[in-house]
Structure 1
């Protein structure tokens, strides 16, 4: 079977862990297509891997690089589909994206009998709107993709429900994204973390973009009600306002600000925390779609607390604590519970690690795909 995967995040070397697993299946001849560069993890990344002994890697130049709603391929994709003639095309793109529209157009022309599968994170149903000034184009693209596609793979159950509401009634299996194996701690390390006392003061962390919708204001306000040091790792347009808020509340001595770091350095910061908080807040057009940093924390043996936004409760389940989004009082209560109840803390470390190890690795993603 000739499988073509179209994936903008394949510019990252870490993404190829899943493709190495797919290529290990003897019946699969794999080709991975990605941009020559992409804006990922708050930085512009040139393709970190351009060849692999087990599968083909093809690259194409893009226009509007980094824009999820407007970006499309200028070169490479047409030639790749024409020459490779895949039996299956796996689009790791939303069905309304211009990337998806291009893939369907070329597939219809050069390999009309192939099976095409797209991947979706969308967990808010927006009738006829796509958060873009070119809604009419995205609507036409999505209609074309829905007609041609054999299946729509969903990151969460909520994403599958949204597809159904949109009128897509073909198979919609839920196959969640994975995380790199370096974030899955050895069992001995988990036992050491369970036996380790809390830091003094406890280290509370947030890792990600500093944006209003990420709910960091709620986390800062909760800090006034609990003991602890807050570490914010990331950059974003809300940083100035968040710094002003922390100063107004007299919290600056208890806060550490760290600018965005390369992906390979995140793990060391994660492991230094006693708890990771993802306090996202739902907007009219967005709700948290997965919260990958939660999975990375759980895999490292760090307990997590998440808001009720979007797919956070589905991802965390009973392996973390949930608070009402935007409510600093309930967040503070969850933090105190975690700090004061050693059995709760140890249990969450164990169940979180087991959940990620069994369900959210690139190995399981590749095998399910």
Structure 2
């Protein structure tokens, strides 16, 4: 079974572990097509282990809706895949062109797309036209959540939809430290984009209610950086809040292991709600107790392995942090439960195994 996976997300080196596990399945010959960069993120790992990795040019790099791969039709014609996996939303130009190129091959391969979209949004032409075309011609969909499944059923997609998050976690790389943290300071962490929907201002307001022995590490970049720095100054906690630029994926386990608690304080906006929260499962895999807001999919990801607070309620978040600060045994228990939940549901191997099942079902259906 020849599989071609087209993914800009795989510029992140840690994510390529999924490809190794996909290719490890008997009978799977995997080729991954990846751009040399996505936005400001360069390709972190340009070698492959057990599969073929081809770097192909990208146009309109960094534009989510308009980017595409000009040499993709030629690449697919050379590879002659049985399955084309477009790791992209169905309303994007890249997806529409990839599906069109796949359908032009003879014999035509099976085509699957991926979506995180958990809000039913309407797009203007030509994006609405491209979306309808992809929904009409794709053979299956992978989605990151049950709410995304509901969206695409409501939009008329009638073929199989499989709820499989885009990437899992490598449980060997993202693992607890050999010894539990035992520092004087209680260290709280956040990692991600510094944008309004991620609610980092709520976290800073909650942190300002904690004792002076607490510290806050914020890793990431975005347009809210200066406003967040100003808020920390205004609340007189700037000396206890450290802002760090985004880290390479390979450095993230070290970041998580330095924490006593990790917080994802996302807030719902009219056009966005939390789609998954990958940082949650990374922190959980490292044995760090997590606190998430009630936004979108975050509570489903955390389950009973962490704490949930009402989004935008900084007092409620402060109560969660205060409770963990005062109860080291509870922190340890939540850390163990989080790790166990990741091992049961969110490892790279789990995601890869379920994805190969989809590939095999598509090929079996094609052979009937």
Question: Considering the TM-score relative to the shorter chain, is it more than 0.5?
Answer: yes
- Partner residue, 2:359: none
Q: Shift of the alpha carbon at 1:351?
A: 0.9
The CA distance in 1 between the partners of 2:109 and 2:89, in whole Å, is 19
Query: 1:367 aligns to what?
Result: 353
- Asked if 1:275 is matched to 2:261, the reply is yes
Cα distance in 2 between the residues matched to 1:207 and 1:11:
19
- Unaligned 5+ segments in structure 2 are 356-368
TM-score, normalised relative to structure 2: 0.91
Q: 343, 346, 354: which is aligned to 2:340?
A: 354
SS, match of residue 308 in structure 2: strand
Is contact 2:260–2:331 with CA below 8 Å preserved after alignment? no
Cα distance, 1:323–1:183 mapped onto 2, change above 3 Å: farther
1:112 Cα shift? 5.4
2:63 alignment partner in structure 1: 67
Q: Secondary structure of 1:63's match?
A: coil
Question: Residue 151 of structure 1 is aligned with which of 134, 140, 160?
Answer: 140
User: If the length of structure 1 is used for normalisation, what is the TM-score?
Assistant: 0.91
**In structure 1, which of residues 260, 266, 287 is the aligned counterpart of residue 246 of structure 2?**
260
Say yes or no: does 1:180 pair with 2:170.
yes
Q: Larger deviation: 177-186 or 150-159?
A: 177-186
| 2:174/2:253 contact within 8 Å kept | no
Partner of 1:310: 296
- Given the alignment, which residue of 178, 186, 206 partners 2:190? 206
Contact 2:12 2:249 in 1 (8 A): no
**2:229 counterpart of 1:229:** no
Q: 2:138 matched to 1:138?
A: no
SS at match of 1:54: coil
Q: CA deviation at 1:53?
A: 6.0
Q: Could you say what the CA RMSD is over the residues aligned between the two structures, in angstroms?
A: 1.7
In the aligned structure 1, how far is the partner of 2:106 from the partner of 2:204? 53
Q: Distance in 2 between matches of 1:141 and 1:274?
A: 46
Stretches (4+) displaced over 4 A:
none
Residue aligned with 2:267, SS: coil
In 2, are the aligned partners of 1:307 and 1:325 still within 8 Å (CA)?
A: yes
Instruction: Find the partner of 1:104 among 90, 99, 107.
Output: 99
Contact 2:20–2:49 under 8 Å retained in 1: no
Instruction: Work out which of the residue numbers 50, 53, 64 in structure 2 matches 1:54.
Output: 50
Could you list the per-position Cα deviations for residues 8-48 of structure 1 after superposition, in whole angstroms to 9, with x for gaps in the alignment?
A: 12233323211111111221121111113222xxx330463
The alpha-carbon deviation at position 165 of structure 1 amounts to 1.6
**Contact 1:91–1:117 under 8 Å retained in 2:** yes
Deviations 1:329-351 (A, max 9, x none): 11011111222233432221111
Aligned pairs, number? 352
Distance 2:10 2:216 in 1: 33
Q: Does structure 2 retain, via aligned residues, the 8 Å contact 1:89–1:117?
A: yes
The verdict on how the C-alpha distance between 1:22 and 1:346 changes in structure 2, with shifts beyond 3 A counting, is same
On the 8 A contact 2:142/2:161 being kept in 1, the answer is yes
Distance 1:53 1:336, change over 3 A: closer
* 1:269-326 superposed Cα distances (whole Å, 9 cap, x missing partner): 2111100101111111111111111111111111110111111011111111111110
Query: What SS does the aligned partner of 1:318 have?
Result: coil
SS in structure 2 at match of 1:136 = coil
SS in 1 for 2:101: helix
After superposition, the Cα gap between the structure-2 partners of 1:241 and 1:144, relative to the gap in structure 1 and judged at 3 Å, is same
Q: How does 1:34-53 map to 2 (within 5 A)?
A: 34-39=34-39, 43-46=40-43, 48-49=45-46, 51-52=47-48
Is the CA contact 2:274–2:295 (under 8 Å) kept in the aligned structure 1?
Answer: yes
CA distance, structure 1, for counterparts of residue 154 and residue 148 of structure 2:
10
**Shift of residue 263 of structure 1?**
2.0
